[in-house]
């Protein structure tokens, strides 16, 4: 690893790592990102970005250059909660470094991607950005609650349509080219309540749901595998019922479905498949795709359907080829290409808006949302070097 990109990234390593530690030490649950956004904005200004904007939703966008070809590196700056603190070997917000490993909530998912892409700007400032390129580093909000919402806003309301989006979620420094989508569905059955001492007078909504539950379990087993993203899945994540009292027959029952979508599975096909289940028809159950409308930390509400489409870019398309070439330039070895198991803001950039999108990030998917979350410090340096190399490849493509 002796390319000039890598050497330049090593030169800014101290500042990069300090910035990473600072943003890990600022807890930033979804809709509570204000303080970390301010810290990121400050760093972009210190590095000398040409323009730094916080949009009305609270996303921070740093720009360098003003060429016609736009490349945006996106990292969400919200994190999930700590979970059981007893499962952590150290303070989840310590940002301690030991033996080249940096620990803390957000280390892999995904403040490392944020830190590296912000510092890619420092490399561009030093090396010079190609005349035909505009570079953006975006630190976006609410991804953990509603993936892609921030980019729906940036595209629809901010009018930014990059020619290439790089999602900097953890890929173990591999080039990723898609992931399964997902959606959240509710199935509801209605009954008639009556006194629990004479249940035959009523119609129990929970019993009507029993057949549906069994059918959903079967449906999950029957969903077909699809290359290269694997099979879609469906599981019941919650069940609840209503009745006038605990001494009454239930008059309503609702299940919440977590549906993961693979290639060729959409909102319409997935709803149709549930409506076609014999038990759903027999119970006259209703099927609803849920909405998300939680306000951002700035108070802005931007309602959307909880449907996050699958996306995939082919291995021989120009963005993937440019990324493979950039990897070779940065590290003088061949890249590995793959895809994520989880979902990212790519659901909006690629899935909804069909903007060319790829993934590359420091850290590892397996540490996301897990105790003792961590990343290699070396990954931060490598990702920064790669992003700068990719800007140069992108300028040529």
Closest-approach residue to Zn ion (CB) = 109
Give 109 or 373: the residue with its C-beta nearer to Zn ion: 109
Give 176 or 394: the residue with its C-beta nearer to Zn ion: 176
Q: Which of 8, 143, 273, 365 is catalytic?
A: 143
Least distance between Zn ion and beta carbon 287 (Å): 29
Least distance between Zn ion and beta carbon 369 (Å): 9
Q: Is 143 a catalytic residue?
A: yes
- Contact criterion met (CB below 8 Å) for 382 and 19: no
- Contact criterion met (CB below 8 Å) for 331 and 6: yes
Q: Which of 8, 43, 78, 393 is catalytic?
A: 78
Least distance between Zn ion and beta carbon 109 (Å): 4
Interface residues with Zn ion (CB under 5 A)?
A: 109-110, 169
Least distance between Zn ion and beta carbon 306 (Å): 17
Give 27 or 191: the residue with its C-beta nearer to Zn ion: 27
**Alpha carbons 19 and 6: distance in angstroms, whole number:** 18
Active site residues: 78, 143
């Amino acid at each position: 690893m002796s390319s000039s990109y890598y050497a330049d990234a090593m030169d800014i390593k101290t500042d990069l790592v300090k910035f990473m530690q600072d943003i890990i030490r600022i807890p930033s649950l979804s809709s509570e990102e204000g303080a970390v956004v301010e810290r990121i904005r400050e760093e972009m200004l210190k590095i000398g970005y040409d323009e730094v904007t916080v949009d009305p939703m609270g996303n921070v966008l740093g720009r360098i250059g003003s060429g016609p070809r736009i490349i945006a590196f996106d990292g969400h700056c919200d994190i999930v909660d700590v979970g059981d603190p007893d499962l952590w070997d150290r303070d989840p917000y310590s940002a301690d470094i030991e033996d080249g490993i940096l620990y803390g909530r957000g280390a892999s998912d995904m403040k490392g991607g944020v830190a590296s892409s912000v510092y890619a700007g420092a490399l561009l400032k030093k090396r010079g950005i190609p005349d035909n390129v505009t570079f953006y580093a975006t630190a976006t909000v609410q991804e953990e609650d509603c993936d892609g919402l921030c980019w729906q806003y940036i595209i629809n309301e901010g009018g930014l349509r990059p020619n290439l989006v790089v999602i900097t979620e953890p890929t173990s420094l591999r080039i990723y080219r898609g992931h399964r989508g997902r959606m959240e569905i509710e199935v509801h059955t209605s009954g008639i309540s009556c006194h629990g001492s004479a249940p035959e007078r009523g119609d129990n909504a929970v019993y009507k749901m029993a057949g549906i539950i069994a059918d959903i379990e079967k449906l999950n087993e029957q969903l077909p595998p699809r290359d290269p993203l694997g099979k879609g899945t469906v599981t019941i994540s919650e069940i609840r019922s209503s009745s006038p009292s605990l001494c009454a027959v239930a008059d309503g029952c609702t299940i919440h479905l977590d549906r993961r979508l693979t290639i060729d599975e959409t909102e319409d096909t997935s709803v149709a498949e549930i409506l076609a289940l014999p038990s759903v028809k027999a119970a006259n159950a209703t099927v609803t795709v849920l909405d998300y409308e939680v306000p951002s930390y700035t108070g802005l509400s931007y309602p959307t359907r909880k449907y996050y489409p699958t996306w995939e870019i082919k291995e021989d398309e120009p963005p993937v080829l440019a990324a493979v070439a950039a990897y070779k330039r940065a590290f003088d070895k061949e890249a590995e290409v793959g895809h994520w198991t989880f979902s990212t803001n790519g659901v909006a950039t690629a899935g909804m808006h069909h903007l060319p999108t790829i993934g590359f990030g420091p850290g590892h998917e397996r540490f996301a949302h897990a105790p003792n979350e961590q990343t290699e410090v070396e990954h931060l340096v490598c990702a920064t070097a790669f992003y700068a190399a990719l800007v140069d490849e992108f300028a040529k493509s």
